[in-house]
């Protein structure tokens, strides 16, 4: 137990030291009474006709009505209404994009079988090269059918978009309260953290456009999906409504 506590203390001190060496360049504290559309875009509907089911056979429809900004939190409400699952998906594409740095989010996840909240990033060149060539960074992914587990993953052309470069971490209290999810990203590696503890490092030996698309700017995406290939096609309708609550996002460089 003493050894475990020492490791936590050392990891936390190291993380704080790294963070202090960087400057805060952007933060979103959701302190207004509505979403700041100078920072955020809404993505609406079921993905059709371009990517029906948002590429994963997901069941939800994204709307502008499934969120509130209250008491310094963004609250995304996931519900079932008139036989439709509804949720919210927002991005910072074209508004707030970053290359390298410490990106962190403090959030409380929704739970239940079929729920799939995520905080992630996509390469800003996606409209030119497509996915997965643009690269994807999944800072937080949770699927309700697998309690106490967190997915931290990257998608590249080399992996054909499949979840190959990934780590599944058991976080026993992940469903309880707020947790801090982060990456530390530089030209050599991307390191993932949960509550200031390192859980996964991605640093391919050979870096080219197919293995390392992470030498360009990326933008943030916040959403909660329902069902789908990853979220699971078995959905517990009794869980609704659920809430994905985001306290803040910070970027240090």
Element (H, E) at 19: helix 2-20
Q: Which of 215, 226, 247 is nearest to 86 (CA)?
A: 226
Beta strands in 45-109 (DSSP E): 60-62, 67-70, 73-81, 84-87, 89-91, 97-98, 101-108
Confirm whether 81 is a catalytic residue.
Answer: no
Q: How far is CA 193 from the centre of its chain?
A: 12
Element (H, E) at 228: helix 228-231
Over its C-alpha atoms, the chain yields an Rg (Å, rounded) of: 18
Confirm whether 136 is a catalytic residue.
Answer: yes
* Annotated catalytic residue within 27, 141, 146, 191: 141
* Annotated catalytic residue within 28, 58, 104, 136: 136
Burial degree of 72 (CB within 10 A; 0-12, 13-18, 19+): exposed
Element (H, E) at 128: helix 126-129
Q: Which of 132, 124, 128, 180 is nearest to 153 (CA)?
A: 132
d(CA 34, CA 150): 29
Burial degree of 17 (CB within 10 A; 0-12, 13-18, 19+): exposed
* Residues classed as catalytic: 136, 141
């Amino acid at each position: 137990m003493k050894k475990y506590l020492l490791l936590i203390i050392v990891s936390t001190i190291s993380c704080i030291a790294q963070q202090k060496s960087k400057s805060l360049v952007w933060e979103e504290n959701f302190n207004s009474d509505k979403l700041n559309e100078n920072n955020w875009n809404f993505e609406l509907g079921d993905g059709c006709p371009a990517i029906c089911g948002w590429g994963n056979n997901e069941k939800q429809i994204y709307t502008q009505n499934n969120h509130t900004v209250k008491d310094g939190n963004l609250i995304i409400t996931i519900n079932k209404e008139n036989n439709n699952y509804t949720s919210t998906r927002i991005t910072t594409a074209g508004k707030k994009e970053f290359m390298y740095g410490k990106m962190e989010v403090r959030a409380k996840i929704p739970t239940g079988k079929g729920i799939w909240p995520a905080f992630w990033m996509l390469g800003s060149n996606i409209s030119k090269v497509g996915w997965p060539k643009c690269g994807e960074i999944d800072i937080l992914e949770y699927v309700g059918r697998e309690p106490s587990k967190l997915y931290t993953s990257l998608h590249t052309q080399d992996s054909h978009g499949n979840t190959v470069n990934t780590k599944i971490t058991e976080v026993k209290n992940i469903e309880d309260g707020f947790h801090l999810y982060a990456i530390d990203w530089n030209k050599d590696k991307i390191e993932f953290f949960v509550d200031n503890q390192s859980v996964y490092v991605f640093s391919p030996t050979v870096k080219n456009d197919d293995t390392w698309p992470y030498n360009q700017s990326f933008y943030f995406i916040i959403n909660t999906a329902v069902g789908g290939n990853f979220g699971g096609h078995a959905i517990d309708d009794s869980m609704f409504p659920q809430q994905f609550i985001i306290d803040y996002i910070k970027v240090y460089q």
